[in-house]
Amino acid sequence: MTLAATQLAAATNENLASISNTLIYSAMAVYTLAFFAYIAEWIFGSRSKVGRTAAALTAPDTAKADAPAVTVNKAGGGTAVLERPKVVVRSSAGSRDVPDGPGAHGGDEQGDLFGRVAVSLTVLAFVVEAAGVVARAASVQRAPWGNMYEFNITFSTVAVGVWLGLLALRKNVRWLGLILITTVLLDLGLAVTVLYTASDQLVPALHSYWLYIHVSTAIFCGAAFYVGAAGALAYLFKDSYEAKLARGGKPGILATSVLERLPSSASLDKFSYRINAAVFPLWTFTIIAGAIWAGDAWGRYWGWDPKETWSFITWVAYAGYLHARATAGWKGRKAAYLALIAFACWLFNYYGVNFLFSGKHSYAGV
């Protein structure tokens, strides 16, 4: 390749890197609009009344909805009417039967409109951010996760994608929108300021197809674990709210306005557990894939490098969480605390290890 051609290729790469930066900033602008739309959804959605949940707590055997009766033909030509059994959703802790809240919009038409606008803006921002990640990859002709800046923008993209995927499956997760977009904006703000790294080539140790396998699964696992942790945190607040009502207490107006709209604590507990249980096998594969890659790159499969150590600690924390639920019957608050501790281990593995320790994984650009 001639010198002129080389310079042209370099300029093209710089152009793509600049386009990527522009797209990331554009995505942040759209996410900000979505943030305000989610705020409007919560503010202008109707407020559910405390009596709705209180009534369910004082009458645990009351059905959420009476099913219609069934008419059957009798042998003698007559008919008999059989009533369907009442359906009651049992709390995971076995103590309360509470219906799910109506969602962030509170069942109000105006609130629902703002919510739909917010979701639409989130989809647009997701597409723009994903394009920014692809442009970053194209600027250096490699996977876009060679440093912490690239990992951050990819992680936030995947986290939003996981949430949108759950929405597409008609799961009751719209309540998570405001929390998700707030943290995504914080993540991107950190990425474009403290963690920003100019587009560049990889260190030799990362030139492997395992980069696409190991790091991509780690990013997806982290995004899914984030969603599970958000469910566990929401559970703790909703469980405290329900417990206060069950004791005859009167929560504040703000707590009532927000927590009445969330799914029941039982639903949140189940949601968090299912997410974490589904992703745990993939996290196990992530660690195994990393060990195989370490064997190819460094001649040893495991060396208790800080990143390897905290990946294993995270695995143990999630394994303990799932084991406690399956064998010891730990559900509810104990399980939620364990889930949050496990996710804190994942966060420390990502941020803390890169900033506080040095090792073979010290190529994150910070």
Measured CA distances, 226 to 220, 238, 347, 355 (Å): 10, 18, 9, 21
Torsions phi, psi of 86, nearest 5? -70, 140
Q: Which of 34, 41, 45 is nearest to 183 (CA)?
A: 34
Q: What is the DSSP string of 18-32?
A: HHHHHHHHHHHHHHH
Each residue of 331-363: b (16+ CB within 10 Å) or e? bbbebbebbbebbebbebbbbebbeeeeeebeb
Which pLDDT score is estimated for 101? Answer: 81
Tell me the C-alpha distance between 96 and 99, whole Å: 10
Residue type, 226: Y
Do residues 217 and 285 touch, judged by C-beta distance below 8 A?
A: yes
Q: Is 34 helix (H, G, I), strand (E, B) or coil?
A: helix
Res 71: pLDDT: 47
Residue among 139, 131, 137 at smallest CA distance from 18: 139
What is the sign, positive or negative, of the torsion defined by CA atoms of 245, 249, 253, 254?
Answer: negative
Q: What is the pLDDT of residue 95?
A: 53
- Tens of pLDDT, residue by residue over 133-145, are 999 999 888 888 8
The per-residue pLDDT for 169 is 87
> pTM, whole model, 2 decimals?
0.81
Residue 204: per-residue pLDDT: 65
Yes or no: say if 210 and 293 are a contact pair by the CB < 8 Å rule: yes
Q: Count of CB atoms within 10 A of residue 1's CB?
A: 8
Predicted pLDDT of residue 347: 92
pLDDT digits (tens, 9 = 90+) for 311-337: 999 999 999 999 998 887 777 898 999
Torsion sign across C-alpha atoms 283, 284, 286, 287: positive
Q: What is the rounded CA–CA span in Å between residue 215 and residue 210? A: 8
Below-70 pLDDT ranges, the chain: 1-12, 47-96, 202-206, 357-366
